[in-house]
Amino acid sequence: MGKQFMLNRATARLKFLRDMERVAALSRPELDAEILTMLPNAIAYARHNSPLYRSTLGGLTNGGTAIKSLDHLRNLPFTTKDDLRARYPYGLLAVSPDRLMRYGESTGTTGNPTSAFMTYEDWERGNVWVERALRQVFTDRDTVFVAIPYELAFAAYDIDRALEAVGVTVVPTGTLNQVCPWERTVEMMRAIHPTGIVCTPTRALRLFDMFVSRGYDPSEVGLRVLFYTGETCSPSKLKKIADLWNVELFTAFGATETNSLALPCRHGTLHLSEDRYLFEVIDPETSVPLSPTERGELVLTSLASEAMPLVRYRTGDIVRIDDTPCACGLPHRSIQHFGRYSERILLQGGSVLRMDVEEAALSVPGTGSYYVLDDESDPPAIGVEVTRQADAQAVLTAVENSIAKACGIQFKALDIDKSLIAQAMDRMLKPGSLSIRHVREP
């Protein structure tokens, strides 16, 4: 029984590997045609098997198989995070529970947690693509620290499993746990000399400063690659982190409900998982469809999910999709992620994305990599780390002018001690969303 079980799983992974290579060789028109071929069956599957969609899509003609185009799809209702919360934990389960391989939950930092689940087929169908992406970044000569949460999450295990398949030596440190706090991670990095680390950009920044504060030389670690995930980060901040560590940057994008949604190629382009999902972009305020090249909210529909199919799920992520062909040859379009719509800053009768403020502030010469926002004051304030203290006031004025020009909002810029920010970061699961409130908390 055990041997046959393992053989069946190995056979399934081989099938998904072969299908992945077939899809990777398609032209863009061929991939578009395949997506539309998969769509009606995916809608019919969700309607028939998911408790949620039996309710919301029960009146569909021909059981959903008439949904054969994007225009048809846009007639269907959206699925929201509130739908998932209301049906926690198994209200979207579309298979028998004994078929599940993975169960996970969101952090619950923005409301009640939501659940997610996968069959073995769901898991392998996505993981072979993660392996393919990481094989272009790492080799069997690399040692990689995986410093993102393992608890109740898919991403750490997904990356861990793919790195293992590549032949990498994996060091599963996790994050914010008692077994391996950041102080121990620093000491292990000095002793083991990893060539890669998987973490958020802000964690990479904090680790660098912990090295320096202990009198260590970060360059002696020999780090070559930062594979960052779990946090949106501006180009200016990313460049500063890359320069500090002298590393190459790669990233991935995903969600609790889906696992990976976009993965990098060897050129660093972030390619959408269009063999598993159909993607739309809408105006987050009006829900009107936008051109994919416009910045808007990402909406996805599952094309091949067994355990938890989703139909027109509003992710809450603000993105732009680019259909420019990539030199790597993949037919999949690429994506830029600008942050969560729920985390936008509401000010002066309008709103602005946090990443836009971050880019405007940290692109100013003389600023460091740390900053904190205070959107409760009038005018709103931003505390930035000033590295050119002799010209501190000129730097702060330049920050104010840069934000006003880029975002149309007048901020008051203040010089802030980065040690205060660091202390607050060490207490947070998601330090990239740091605000003045966190700095003030004891």
**Partners of 300 in beta bridges:** 279, 313
Domain 2-124+265-342 has CATH 3.30.360.10: no
The stretch 405-421 carries a mean pLDDT of: 90
What pLDDT is stored for residue 378 in this prediction? 83
Nearest CA among 218, 192, 224 for reference residue 206: 218
pLDDT tens-place string over residues 216-272: 999 999 999 999 999 999 999 999 999 999 999 999 999 999 999 999 999 999 999
Q: Which residues of 7-21 are buried (b: 16+ CB within 10 A; e: fewer)?
A: eeeeeebeebbeebe
| Mean of all residue pLDDT scores within the chain | 93
Cα 404 from Cα 13, distance rounded (Å): 52
pLDDT one-digit tens code per residue, 269-286: 999 999 999 999 999 999
User: Are 2-124+265-342 and 137-254 the same fold in CATH?
Assistant: yes
For position 10, what pLDDT does the model report?
A: 84
Burial (CB count within 10 angstroms: exposed 0-12, middle 13-18, buried 19+), residue 365: exposed
Judged against a pLDDT cut of 80, whether residue 344 lies above it is answered with yes
Q: Comparing 46 with 9, which gets the higher pLDDT?
A: 46
Contact between 248 and 225 under an 8 Å Cβ cutoff? The reply is yes
Sheet containing strand 412-415, strands side by side: 367-374, 381-386, 412-415
Flag whether pLDDT at 1 surpasses 70. Answer: no
- 46 pLDDT exceeds 60? yes
Mean pLDDT of 77-102: 97
How far from each other are the two terminal CA atoms of the chain, in whole angstroms? Answer: 56
The pLDDT tens digits for 303-328 are 999 999 999 999 999 999 999 999 99
pLDDT of residue 96: 97
273, 261 contact by CB (below 8 A): yes
Q: What's the rounded mean pLDDT across residues 398-406? A: 97
pLDDT bucket at 59, cuts 50 / 70 / 90: confident
Residue 296 is predicted with a pLDDT of 97
Spell out the domain ranges in the chain: 2-124+265-342, 137-254, 344-440
Residue 61 has pLDDT above 70, yes or no: no
| Residue 422 pLDDT level (bands cut at 50, 70, 90) | confident
Task: Give me the DSSP letters along 88-141.
Answer: TTTTT--S-GGGEEEEEE---TTSS--EEEEEHHHHHHHHHHHHHHHHTT--TT
Closest CA to 420 of 149, 209, 175, 178: 209
pLDDT score, position 3: 76
User: Position of tokens 């028109």?
Assistant: 29
Distances (CA, A) of 212 to 9, 181, 186, 205, 208: 46, 17, 10, 11, 6
Q: CATH: 3.30.410.40, 2.40.30.170, 3.30.1360.150, 3.40.50.12780. Which one for 137-254?
A: 3.40.50.12780
DSSP 8-state secondary structure symbol assigned to residue 390: G
Predicted pLDDT of residue 65: 81
* 344-440 CATH pick, 1.20.58.1030, 3.30.565.10, 3.30.300.30, 3.40.50.1370: 3.30.300.30
Q: At residue 402, what is the residue type?
A: S
**Cβ–Cβ under 8 Å, residues 299 and 326:** no
